[in-house]
Amino acid sequence: MSDKKVRVRFAPSPTGGLHLGGVRTVLFNYLFAKKHKGDFVLRIEDTDQSRYVDGAEDYILDCLKWCGLIPDESPVVGGHYAPYRQSERKALYREYAEKLVREGHAYYAFDTPEELDKNRKEIPNFQYGHFYRDSLRNSLSLKQHEVDQLLDAGTPHVIRIKMPEDETISFNDMIRGHVSFETNQVDDKVLLKADGMPTYHLAVVVDDYLMKITHAFRGEEWLPSAPVHLLLWEYLGWKADMPQWAHLPLILKPDGHGKLSKRDGARLGFPVYAMNWFDAKIGELTPGFRELGFLPEAFLNLLAMLGWNDGTDNEIFTLDELISKFSIERVNKGGAKFDFEKAKWFNAEWIKRTSAESLKDKVKAVLEDKGVAVNDDNYLLKIIDVIKERCTLLADFYQQSAYFFEVPREYDINSVKPKWSDAKTDFFNVLMSRYADVQMWESADLENLFKALMEEKGLKAGDVMLPFRIMLVGGKFGPHVFDIAALLGKNETINRIEQALAVFNA
């Protein structure tokens, strides 16, 4: 590690929802920065105006806020290296592109989109590079006076990097070790588009340099772009300031074949975005982990374990623990299969570990969304403590707790009727009478009284415990039945027994 202050960045394009792979990239950047007392920068790469989507930037910021991964510098909070939107930095990039042209590392290309399409159709595997560049319309093939005339006339053009021939470019990746590329296999990428906007290739290098980024973590799908970026750092004279690179492994489909996509989520029935994303252009809603009922702590925890571990069998980590234990050397080279059942396991574990007070507002929102009014927060806290171990998603709190607030609207009558008898009716009539006399309405006392009456009446637990549960909650679910009765209170418990008896005996 150098003596420079660690500075990392996440640089998304505001073109749609935030894939869980993107959030994992944020997380690893954030963990590395905080581990080394550095800065985490959010930079919006909105240079491709044709793909810009209104609302996408706010969505990205909301996702990071929900996850608790708050940038030290961003378009919202500002910073010493503002502006943090590339569209607001447009004037910067042309000067660097022109410098590359002057020094022979880049050139003007005047080919029209139609001409390029024609070449792609007529020439198999056409690439705009060293093999064809001299036969195309650019400042390498044209005479200088022709180039000047075209520029003076305002002819639309792009600036392309001039990739060298027959060279090998290498760098050391923090995850993959030594990586090499043959320049003959890389085309002359566009650096500055006809509208004056930079492409990702130029903008990322210029901005990383000007913002003093020390480490660049990104997905392995960007590896093919690395030789262009390495050359730009060298050609612009900034090689000594180039960040250290780490190309993160892909998050794979559950079967391990290929990168996990939005379509895979739709096909297999799970989200791949952090939060719900509505694409107004096509009227399509893509579901998110937040709305499905994931806690942000669980979401971050499961992402951290996709491609990283701390060298032990531990799987549950708080954000502070992840910061303390994170090491880029323990990030795997190979892709990580996404397992939705495992993801739900993480959420269930986090729900168990989270205090009722911390869950209260989220659970209240779930219940009120279903039309259940919550008027007593202390009552809700007691319910959460009793049922949270039975919940995998926040949405589960409705099914697991609605009966605490509302009398069951229907009963699992088929589990009761076949074995119902007069003896059982008598048991519950006597139970109501005995419960009416109870002074201290506590779970253990209710259970003892219930079991004593069973013995007195010569009944077994299998005869009356299930009917009692169904009387109180409507079905075969819920926590310890006497804990339920204790929370419902004396009058409500007796009323529910009486009401259910009428149904069972109908």
* Contact between residue 393 and residue 292 where contact means Cβ atoms under 8 Å apart: yes
Annotated binding residue 281:
no
Residue 129 and residue 120: Cα distance in Å, rounded? 13
Closest CA to 74 of 126, 98, 39: 39
Residue 76 and residue 68: Cα distance in Å, rounded? 15
Choose the catalytic residue: 35, 90, 99, 262.
Answer: 262
Query: In this structure, what token pair is assigned to residue 378?
Result: 């202390």
Closest CA to 290 of 299, 281, 282: 299
* Contact between residue 249 and residue 332 where contact means Cβ atoms under 8 Å apart: yes
Q: What is the DSSP string of 330-395?
A: GB-SS-EE--HHHHHHHHHHHHHHS-HHHHHHHHHHHHHHTT-----HHHHHHHHHHHGGG-SSTT
Tell whether the torsion through CA atoms of 365, 366, 369 and 373 is positive or negative.
negative
Residue 362 is a catalytic residue: no
Query: In this structure, what token pair is assigned to residue 25?
Result: 């990239």
Q: What stretch of H or E contains 96?
A: helix 90-102
* ∠ CA 105-109-114, rounded to 5°: 150
Q: Which residues does 31 contact at the CB level (< 8 Å), separation at least 6?
A: 304, 322, 323, 326
- Name the CA dihedral angle for 238, 240, 246, 247, rounded to a multiple of 10 degrees: 40
CA 322 from centroid of its chain's CA atoms: 16
Query: Is the link from the previous residue into 83 a cis peptide, with omega within 30 of 0?
Result: yes
Residue 130 and residue 182: Cα distance in Å, rounded? 13
The residues assigned a catalytic role are 262
Binding site members for ATP: 262
Binding site members: 262
